Chain A
């Protein structure tokens, strides 16, 4: 018989910390990572030696970045594992840190996401697989999702310009987030009038390239008691689900299908329905993704996302706040940190500590990442 996270002993996020996501700078990745970890330790009111295991998510930095960061906290000999899973690297680090605590292998674990573009040659291993293709050299991620946007608009008879409304909301949320790369309210006209990228997308509908770091500390109930941590600020992780892409029938929107499958697994583990979610942080690298994924998750019916968005259902204060952090479009997507940063935002919201972007009464949140390949990771957190 197999078990899921929720069958094991409870695990809690007890500390969160971030280095602001930003455009590439002279700041060494060590400084980015240390800022996030020290902030998470301070948030948890925990000393570094209490952390027994570390998982470091990164996709752009070369090998063994974690030890180069963590040694400056004072070496304790803890095990360090590096996770590379494309955009889902941070989510993967978080999942395995949760499992290590949930299974009782350790009591306190760190999940750190850190990255810096340009530090090593970037690229997808698939391009080295030896299998050539007709047009892959011409298809960037923006173009991949522009093709999906064209299909969605055709399938549901909507205007492609309406996808920009996702960016209006997420830039508005990012403007209230001191850790966001973009912190400026943008009008629909400004977004539609921006630089054209691919299909209907303009630059402000696409995630920026950047750097940053995010850290969360996960602890068992025993550790929360033993270390005298604040139980009111501890947020339980009630589900962790992960899947990868299969072969689908022609013209199935596989990104949405993968999200639907993984989200359903996570909701089942937590014994929740989509309507129970107050906060969703999802992978909106391109505006159309949020539209496809809220439907795939069951937050609204098929083809209804744009009308629900226009009604304010996904605003902070709406039925379910989607990407209150600003999402990948405004908060940014430094790759390794992104999945960990989503967890940090949900914890902040569930504690009621999100200040001007607080979604009132938030009790349950879901974090969703996809990574090229494709893989999908979903976590649910509850107070």
Chain B
């Protein structure tokens, strides 16, 4: 299996579903992404890891045409999405996702981002969920 680029941010369960590794605060009940061990942003307490489903609703999107770094290659689309489990995160759309707009449903998938002459890697991208 190809390694994950950021295994501290997401994982694949035994049914191949992607889960985000977020955090919940036992003191103020806040939920956050990603997990970190420095302290809750709202109240300062120690956070505990909590897994979130990689599914949510678009709250904003932007097609990027000019980007200083070579990675990711332009054009690409950045989305802000509200996860079904609460936190708002920002992520990249897969290059073959249908265009999306505010209110659309997105689901996460692990895509091969291996670059030439480098170790194979998979990273999390989102794609527009098509109604069944």
Contacts and interface: CB of A to CB of B under 8 A. Distances in A.
A119 interface: no
Contacts of B9: 132-134
Contacts of B67: 138, 140
B72 A138 contact: yes
Contact of B91 (A131, A135, A195, A199): A135
Interface stretch (A17-25, A98-106, A148-156, A161-169): A148-156
A278 B91 CA distance: 41
Contact of B34 (A131, A143, A146, A150): A131
Contacts of B61: 147, 150, 199
Interface string B72-100: 10001010101000111111100000000
A247 B101 CA distance: 25
A250 B87 contact: yes
Interface residues of B, number: 37
A78 interface: no
B8 interface: yes
A159 interface: no
Given A138-B92, A148-B60, A154-B102, A197 B65 contact: yes
Contacts of A142: 66
A198 B63 contact: yes
Given A132-B34, A138-B72, A147-B60, A247 B66 contact: no
A147 B102 contact: no
B119 to A, nearest CB: 18
A292 to B, nearest CB: 13
Name the residue among B6, B42, B90, B92 with the largest chain A CB count within 10 angstroms: B90
B17 to A, nearest CB: 17
Name the residue among A134, A146, A195, A199 with the largest chain B CB count within 10 angstroms: A134
Given A131-B36, A134-B34, A197-B64, 16 more contacts: A131-B34, A132-B8, A132-B9, A133-B34, A134-B89, A137-B71, A139-B78, A139-B90, A143-B62, A146-B64, A150-B62, A151-B80, A198-B66, A199-B64, A251-B82, A251-B88
Interface of B: 6, 8-10, 30, 34, 36, 38, 41-42, 59-69, 71-72, 76, 78, 80, 82, 86-92, 101-102, 124
Interface of A: 130-140, 142-143, 146-151, 154, 195-199, 246-247, 250-251
Give the 7 A-B CB pairs with smallest separation, nearest first.
A199-B62, A146-B62, A147-B60, A196-B65, A150-B60, A247-B42, A151-B60
15 contacts: A134-B9, A134-B10, A135-B90, A135-B92, A137-B72, A138-B72, A140-B64, A146-B64, A147-B78, A150-B62, A154-B60, A154-B102, A197-B64, A198-B62, A199-B61
